[in-house]
């Protein structure tokens, strides 16, 4: 497969805006596009414990930031190697099935959310945790 010949566009979740993932994607020889995104509150997961199982609801609550989950947060949890990848996949199922598109972020707000608390220190989204 060749990105310059075989790929019409690489479509990213908006949780990756301003991250190293977006930077890497922009270096590819194909356009980058954005889908509406998925975000789910932990309270939303707790309404459906039987969808994938209560243990995945609790895992989602553990990795959530400010009570919400998105693909970037699930990816961050995967990069720690502290969680079973199949368990994180089931958390993703919750986000994909019950999540809603994220509201658009204006440039000022994007700068405000570019730093998030990670284990008691500040790290930019997409940076190693």
Instruction: Report the domain count for the chain.
Output: 1
Domain assignment of residue 97, yes or no: yes
pLDDT value, residue 90: 98
Residue 127 — pLDDT band, cuts 50, 70, 90? very low
Q: What is the DSSP code (8-state) at residue 74?
A: H
pLDDT value, residue 102: 72
Name the residue range of residue 65's domain: 38-123
pLDDT value, residue 104: 58
Hey, which residues does 10 pair with through a beta bridge?
A: 32
Domain assignment of residue 14, yes or no: no
pLDDT value, residue 63: 98
Domain assignment of residue 84, yes or no: yes
pLDDT value, residue 103: 65
Q: Which residues, at least 6 apart from 26, have a Cβ–Cβ distance to it below 8 Å?
A: 32
Per-residue model confidence as pLDDT tens digits over 68-117: 999 999 999 999 999 999 999 999 999 999 999 876 554 444 434 444 43
Domain assignment of residue 18, yes or no: no
C-alpha distances in Å from residue 1, one per residue of 4, 5, 12, 34, 119: 9, 8, 19, 22, 39
């Amino acid at each position: 497969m060749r990105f310059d010949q075989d790929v019409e566009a690489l479509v990213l979740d908006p949780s990756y805006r301003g991250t190293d993932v977006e930077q890497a994607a922009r270096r590819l020889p194909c356009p980058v596009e954005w889908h509406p995104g998925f975000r789910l509150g932990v309270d939303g997961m707790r309404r459906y414990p039987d969808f994938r199982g209560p243990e995945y609801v609790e895992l989602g609550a553990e990795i959530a930031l400010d009570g919400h989950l998105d693909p970037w947060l699930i990816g961050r949890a995967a990069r720690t190697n502290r969680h079973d990848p199949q368990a994180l996949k089931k958390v993703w199922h919750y986000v994909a099935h019950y999540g809603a598109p994220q509201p658009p972020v204006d440039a000022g707000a994007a700068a405000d959310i570019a730093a998030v608390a990670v284990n008691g220190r500040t790290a930019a989204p997409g940076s190693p945790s």
